[in-house]
Amino acid sequence: MGVKSVFSGLWWVLKKFWGALDATRRVLFNLLILVVLIALVGGLLNHGPKPLQDKTTLVLNLHGPLVEQFSGSPRDTAVAQLQGTKQKQTRLRDVLATLDAAAKDPKIGSVLLDLDAFGGAGLAGLNEVAAALDRFKASGKPVLAYGDSYNQRGYFLAARANEIYLHPMGMVLIEGFGRYRTYYKDALDRLGVSANVLRVGAFKNAAEPYFANAPSPAALEAESYLYGDLWARYTASVEAARKLPKGSIAQGIEKLPEALAAVKGNTAKLAFQSKLVDGIKTRDEMRDLLMARGAKDDKGNSYRRISFDEYQAYLKPEASHGPAVGVVVAEGEIVDGDAAAGRIGGDSTARQIRQAREDESVKAVVLRVNSPGGSAFASEIVRRELELTKKAGKPVVISMGDVAASGGYWIAMSSDEVIADPATVTGSIGVFGMLPTADKLLDKLSIHTGGYTSTWLAGGFDPRRPLDPRMQATVQQGINHIYEEFTSKAAAARKKSVAEIDAVAQGRVWTGAQAKERGLIDRLGSFDDAVQSAAKLAKLEGQPRLNYIERELGRFERLLASLDEVLAPAIATSIGNALRAELGFSLPKAAQQLQGELAFAAELSEGKKPFGAVVHCLCMAP
């Protein structure tokens, strides 16, 4: 192939690439103009939502996991739409507000739980929704549930319904709590990779899979105690809601093979016989039941209803003036620097707390924590900002969600009160770090390293070389110090001795109820309990106004956020079509995966320190 042919090929590629960019630019520009026009026309024509009719059924069709805040920035969401990877999420506070508003709405006659697309939540979050369903029922209106099938998390909510119905080919699957982990020690040894895990805490087993082939006795002890308590709470709650004999769920699981054989594998019939559901109905039969119980829609072929998303337009917005309780949501991994919603950035979350402190209308702060931990440094940055808020005279109350463990517990240590759900996963006061080295792997590949450094510390973190014992000792001392900081700060916050905290620390994870027994939290309660406590400490009268302190969006992000569920997919489709038209092909999934891997590697390389201690439990709410 001649030079001319090579340059011709390159020119063709560049020409096609430029054409794709130009086509994308034109598509984006035209669609953005369309968005503005639609917004203007909509603003002129919109006179509010159409009034609801009597006996309307609110369909609580929850999609995706239950979260404290939507993850990612509007830009991330737009990119996910473009790539077709966006996942639906349901915000907990929206569900609670919807149910409480519907309970008082005379037009809403009942609630239908549709949980087929529900991604679940931890038991603490489910308890919040279950309590809201109970409040709705207390208004005298019924709650019905219908599902093609029910998984463990969905059934926990369905159990609150006055009546539960199941499709004839469906099932109720309640499995229990626990987890199996994959252990890599033998594989790493064969590869020639050393994990070099350093830790403090006999129960700090987050990194155990990298230096062991099976869970340690300490890990099994801690997990059996944790999951045993959570399972007992789950079964007791469901059995009480369904008026089942105590222990019937566990007994049903033990006898499942025989019971299923007796009904010839008919899982729906077994659920009915076990009194887990009240009836078996096809979709059309359920529709007929709802029409008979409520009212027909305008077309007369279905029941009068409104979906969860549609009902949001009927909710009254929070007042924007007057004294308020500021709410800062701390959800996800704790990382250094700034982070978008769904992760806790040490700097960005501290900035939100500082904003609440400096806002004269905010009289108290509630930090809603749902995090398994992460960076020790970032955790301390957040904790210190809460400490300054207390010193400024504003009460600080911690509300723990599904998980507030390790770093999630660290950031909760400077407050006037800590409130957790009985099923919150918390504690895990411990520290670990990992310094992987691959010198043996390189030897197997006949790859060698060499060079000169002025001190042993200069190449101390080089993963191509064996870990210097002096480096190991140095890092271990740093981890020991962070553990001492952790326990001493916890002791001061809980008004206990360091020895008392150390006895219940050591990296061990507890449920909220177990943590209360050991003095790691102040009391058990809900998010609303935390809000009421903060208002009382601030001497606010009546129902307090809530002011959610969230990251401010830039102009472009606000524009992206304005794209609704119809326009965003349209943009993604149009851009994809433009790329295919110009290039003749679309980006393969492998390229998208590579992009994600490179982004992850870039994120790791952004760290300013070669090593950082981690306060993370690597745990999740079951």
| Mean of pLDDT values over 527-554 | 90
The residue among 242, 79, 251 whose CA lies nearest residue 163 is 242
The residue among 8, 81, 11, 17 whose CA lies nearest residue 584 is 17
pLDDT class for 552, splitting at 50, 70, 90?
A: low
For tokens 């034109």, the residue is: 26
- Between CA 388 and CA 357 the distance in angstroms is 9
Q: What is the mean pLDDT of the chain?
A: 86
- Between CA 578 and CA 569 the distance in angstroms is 14
Q: With contact defined as beta carbons under 8 Å apart, do 328 and 287 qualify?
A: no
pLDDT at 589 over 50: no
Q: Which of 204, 394, 489, 496 is catalytic?
A: 204
Q: With contact defined as beta carbons under 8 Å apart, do 510 and 520 qualify?
A: yes
Q: Which of 110, 399, 406, 414 is catalytic?
A: 406
**Residues whose CB falls within 8 Å of the CB of residue 390, separated by 6 or more in sequence, listed in order:** 396, 414, 415, 416
- Between CA 52 and CA 73 the distance in angstroms is 33
Classify residue 217 by burial, with Cβ atoms within 10 Å: 0-12, 13-18, 19+. exposed
- Between CA 411 and CA 403 the distance in angstroms is 13
Least confident of 216-220, 540-544, 600-604: 600-604
> Spelled out in words, what is the top-level CATH class assigned to the domain 56-172+277-314?
alpha beta
DSSP letter (8 states) at residue 207: T
Asked about 8 being catalytic, the answer comes back as no
- Amino acid of residue 528: D
Per-residue model confidence as pLDDT tens digits over 356-394: 999 999 999 999 999 999 999 999 999 999 999 999 999
| Concatenated DSSP letters of 367-405 | EEEEE-EEEHHHHHHHHHHHHHHHHTT--EEEEEEEEEE
| Mean of pLDDT values over 541-550 | 92
- 553-567: b (≥16 Cβ within 10 Å) or e: eeeebebbeebeeeb
What are the sequence ranges of the domains in the chain?
Answer: 3-48+554-611, 56-172+277-314, 324-548
pLDDT class for 16, splitting at 50, 70, 90?
A: low
Q: Let me know if the fold of 56-172+277-314 is the same as that of 324-548.
A: yes
- Amino acid of residue 562: S
- Between CA 334 and CA 337 the distance in angstroms is 9
Alpha-carbon separation of residue 51 from 47, 48, 61, 142, 303 (angstroms): 11, 9, 21, 22, 17
| Mean of pLDDT values over 56-80 | 81
Q: Which two tokens stand for residue 54?
A: 């009597």
Handedness of CA 273, 276, 279, 282 (dihedral sign): negative
- Between CA 540 and CA 325 the distance in angstroms is 9
Q: Which two tokens stand for residue 590?
A: 């492998």
Number of H helices, E strands in the chain: 23, 23
Asked about 320 being catalytic, the answer comes back as no
The residue among 158, 184, 161 whose CA lies nearest residue 172 is 158
Per-residue model confidence as pLDDT tens digits over 188-244: 999 999 999 999 988 888 889 999 999 999 999 999 999 999 999 999 999 999 999
- Between CA 369 and CA 68 the distance in angstroms is 9
| Mean of pLDDT values over 263-280 | 98
Long-range CB contact pairs, 31-36, < 8 A, 24+: 31/567, 31/570, 31/571, 31/574, 32/559, 34/567, 35/559, 35/562, 35/563, 35/567
Q: What is the 3-state secondary structure (H, E, C) of 327-375?
A: EEEEECCEECCCCCCCCEEHHHHHHHHHHHHHCCCEEEEEEEEEECEEE
- Between CA 60 and CA 71 the distance in angstroms is 21
CATH value of 324-548 in 3.90.226.10, 3.40.1280.10, 1.25.40.10, 3.10.105.10: 3.90.226.10
Handedness of CA 256, 258, 263, 265 (dihedral sign): positive
Alpha-carbon separation of residue 209 from 186, 220, 288 (angstroms): 10, 13, 53
Question: Which percentage of the chain shows pLDDT scores above 70?
Answer: 78
